[in-house]
Amino acid sequence: MQGLKALVIVMGVMIVAGVVVIGVTIYNRLSGMAGADAGGGQAFGEVVLPVPPDSRVVSTHVTEGRLIAVIDSRDGQRIAVVDLRTGEPLGTVKLVPAP
C-alpha cells in the first residue's frame, strides 16, 4: 500500500510539472511574438533588393517565411527570394529560354 501511495504522489507531481512546462512554453512563444512582424520574425528594417534597370515587379508571394518576387526586365524574368525573418536576400533565379 505504501508503494501505491508513493506512485500516486510521484505521478501527481509529474502531471503538475508537465502543466507548468506547457504553460511556460505558451507564455514564451506568445511574448516572443510581441515584436514580430507579419512574417513571424523580428523586424529587420529596410532591405535593398537590387533589380536590373528598366525592370518591374510582376508579382509577389509570401510562403513559409519567404517573399518571392517575380521581376520582369529586358534580360528576361527573374525570381528573387528574400527571408522574411532576417530580411536577407537568399538569391535570384534567372529564367532563360530552353536551348
pLDDT single digits (tens) 38-86: 445 566 677 778 787 888 999 999 988 899 999 998 888 899 999 888 8
Residue 80: count of CB within 10 angstroms of its CB:
19
Closest to 52 (Cα-Cα) out of 25, 31, 71, 29: 71
pLDDT score recorded for residue 49: 81
Question: DSSP letters along 17-56, please?
Answer: HHHHHHHHHHHHHHHHTTTB-TTSSB----------TT-E
Instruction: Domain ranges for the chain, please list them.
Output: 1-34, 48-99
> Which strands make up the sheet holding 66-73, listed edge to edge?
56-63, 66-73, 76-83, 89-95
Is 86 within 8 Å of 71 (Cβ atoms)?
A: no
Predicted model pTM: 0.52
Amino acid at 93: V
